[in-house]
Structure 1
Amino acid sequence: MTKILVVDDDCSICELYKEILGSFEVVSACSGREGLELYRKLMPDLVIVDINMPDISGVEVAKEIFKLNPEAVVIVVTAYYQEFESKMLRLGAKEVLGKPFNLKHFRECVAKYLNKGS
């Protein structure tokens, strides 16, 4: 089954992602550090990461993920869209979505990258 890792310090948001992405196996981490540990352990098909987290920022999480796997599929979701969009795309993120995001567009983004090659 397709595995998605969600990294967001708001655990209620992680639960919401699980509901939205119910047709996939969704694993969540409520901190950047936990997200990196789970990424190393599970090597998920897609990662959704928030930028603003207290322990390790989403920027650092993404950098570490790309060191482990330069082909990783990372979607960044942030309330600071304008501030981080170009930086995260240059880093290798496939998409940067501003919060709040359009649910239909979000699902389309996820589907686009998970259906690639199938």
Structure 2
Amino acid sequence: MKILIVDDDMTVRELLRVILKDYTTFEADDGEKAVRMYQELKPDIVLMDLFMPKMDGIEATRKILEIDPEAVVIGVTAFHSNKGDELMKAGAKEIISKPFTRKWIVEAISRYAKV
């Protein structure tokens, strides 16, 4: 399974990469790169931050779902309480709040993993 990690914080990307070491992971540090990488790689799941330079997670989620309406985008953000609804309206399947636990990430991935 391929997972695209999208976050402008290198530490968060590294942590997610370690948690997801059993999967093939790719990383983008802004929404524009995420959309380009989605088109090229067609990952099974996208873990999407909310606030990033160039293009935020809301717009990137919309664009990814325009490319592929079946895309699975999971929001991973510290701003769940005030912006999470916007990410859900853009098409995210669910939101995981930062700080997150390994368990939350693994459980979310397993919910959407294609068998």
Fold-level similarity (TM above 0.5): yes
Unaligned segments of structure 1, at least 5 residues: none
Query: Is 1:67 aligned with 2:66?
Result: yes
Unaligned segments of structure 2, at least 5 residues: none
**Alignment match, 1:109:** 108
**Alignment match, 1:57:** 56
Aligned partners of 2:110, 2:44: CA distance in 1, in Å?
11
**Alignment match, 2:95:** 96
CA RMSD of aligned residues (A): 1.2
Q: Deviations over 1:38-65 (max 9, x none)?
A: 1110010000010010211011110100
For residue 56 of structure 1, give the secondary structure of its aligned residue in structure 2: coil
Aligned partners of 2:79, 2:85: CA distance in 1, in Å?
11
User: Contact 2:47/2:73 (CA < 8 Å) preserved in 1?
Assistant: yes
Shift of 1:102: 2.7
Query: Is 1:12 aligned with 2:7?
Result: no
Q: TM-score, structure 1 length as denominator?
A: 0.91
Greater Cα shift, 82-91 or 45-54? 82-91
For residue 27 of structure 2, give the secondary structure of its aligned residue in structure 1: strand
